[in-house]
Amino acid sequence: MKGREYMKLGQAMGSELARSSAARALRESHDSRPSGVVDTAEAWQVAPGALIRKSGISRPTSRGLLPMVVLPRGPERAHDPFVPRLQACRDRYLHRLGSILFRGFRVAEDAQFRNFVSALSGAATTLDFDIPPARRIIRRWPGSIQLPASEDVLHNVRAYSRYRPSALWFWCMVAPFNVALVDCRDVYAEIPAPIRQRWSDRGLTYMRSFEATGALSWALVFGTSSHAEVERRSEQQGFDCEWGPQGALRIWRSCSPTQLDTAGIPVWLNQAHVFAGASGGPWRVQHADGSPIAPADVQAVLQAFDACKTLLPCEVGDVLVIDNMLTAHACLSPVPNTLGVAREYRTEQES
Q: pLDDT truncated to tens, each residue of the chain (351 aa)?
A: 555 555 444 444 454 444 444 334 433 332 333 333 333 333 433 444 445 554 556 777 767 778 888 887 766 667 777 788 888 889 989 999 999 999 988 899 999 999 999 999 977 788 888 877 653 433 434 444 444 443 468 999 999 888 899 999 999 988 888 899 999 999 999 999 999 999 999 999 999 989 888 878 899 888 899 999 999 999 988 899 999 988 999 999 999 999 999 999 999 999 999 888 655 467 899 999 999 999 999 999 999 999 999 999 999 999 999 999 999 999 887 666 778 899 999 865 544
Query: How many Å apart are CA 46 and CA 103, to the nearest integer?
Result: 17
Q: Which phi and psi (to 5°) does residue 258 adopt? A: -135, 160
Q: What is the pLDDT of residues 70-96, one digit of tens each?
A: 887 766 667 777 788 888 889 989 999
3-state secondary structure of 163: coil
pLDDT of residue 100: 94
Strand partners, 180: 311, 330
DSSP assignment of 63-113, as one string? TEEESEEEEESSS---SGGGHHHHHHHHHHHHHHHSEEEE-SS---SHHHH
Q: What is the DSSP letter of 208?
A: E
Q: Residues 164, 158: contact at Cβ < 8 Å? A: yes
Query: How many Å apart are CA 145 and CA 281, to the nearest integer?
Result: 11
Strand partners, 172: 339
Burial of residue 346 (CB within 10 Å: 0-12, 13-18, 19+) is middle
pLDDT of residue 281: 64
**Amino acid, single-letter form, for residue 316:** V
Interior angle at CA 35, CA 34 and CA 39, nearest 5: 75
Alpha carbon dihedral 232, 234, 235, 241, in 10-degree steps, equals -100
| Helix (H) or strand (E) segment spanning residue 202 | helix 193-202
pLDDT of residue 172: 92
111-145: b or e for each residue (b if 16 or more CB lie within 10 Å)?
A: ebbbebbebbbeeebeeebebeeeeeeeebbbbeb
DSSP assignment of 106-151, as one string? ---SHHHHHHHHHHHH-TTEEEEEE-TTSPP----STT-----TTS
Which one, of 93, 86, 87, lies nearest residue 63 by Cα?
93
pTM for this predicted structure: 0.79
Q: Residues 249, 241: contact at Cβ < 8 Å? A: yes
* 144 contacts: CB under 8 Å, gap ≥ 6: 138, 158
Q: Residues 215, 294: contact at Cβ < 8 Å? A: no
Alpha carbon dihedral 237, 95, 272, 214, in 10-degree steps, equals -40
Terminal-to-terminal C-alpha distance of the chain:
13
Which one, of 174, 132, 181, lies nearest residue 317 by Cα?
174
Q: What is the pLDDT of residues 17-69, one digit of tens each?
A: 444 443 344 333 323 333 333 333 334 334 444 455 545 567 777 677 788 88
